Amino acid sequence: NEYLAGAWGIFHSGEPVEVQMRFYPPASARVKESIWHPSQRLSDGPKGTLDMTVTVTGTVEITPWILGWGDAVEVLAPPTLRAAIAATGQNMGIRNGRPPAGNTVTQKQKRADAPSSRARRTRA
């Protein structure tokens, strides 16, 4: 179908967008084994990385695919997709117990903020 020709899956969501990604080992070997999209272009990068470029009609469907690779992938372009992936990753970290960047708490601070084990309990 001509309408879906540039889609990542079945959803056509706009103008063609060139998405550039860098995959890190061992995921780079797995990505290299398959044809993920008809437009894909692959090139070997430094230290076993693999650069992949695809042209898709919108990023709605490719976004969860990228997120599925976790920290084994870096979005190089477009900047809007890179920012969206980074924001999602940061939010995942926060929800799973990691403080936001620049807001790290030391063990000493945690102990200082924790209620004293000697504190008296009050009954309601």
Q: Calculate the alpha carbon distances from 12 to 42, 105, 109, 110 in Å.
A: 23, 44, 50, 48
12 and 4 in contact (C-beta within 8 Å)?
yes
CATH of 1-87, one of 1.10.1740, 1.20.120, 3.40.190, 3.30.70: 3.30.70
pLDDT at 91: 92
Domain boundaries, the chain: 1-87
Pairwise CA distance, residues 92 & 84, whole Å = 12
Element (H, E) at 3: none
pLDDT, tens digit only, all 124 positions of the chain = 454 545 445 555 678 899 999 999 999 999 999 999 999 999 999 999 999 999 998 898 899 999 999 999 999 999 999 999 999 999 999 999 887 776 555 555 555 555 554 455 555 5
61 and 54 in contact (C-beta within 8 Å)?
no
Give the residue carrying structure tokens 């650069």. Answer: 51
pTM confidence score: 0.70
Q: What is the dihedral of CA 68, 70, 76, 77, to 10 degrees?
A: 30
pLDDT at 51: 98
Nearest to 37 by CA among 49, 47, 58: 58
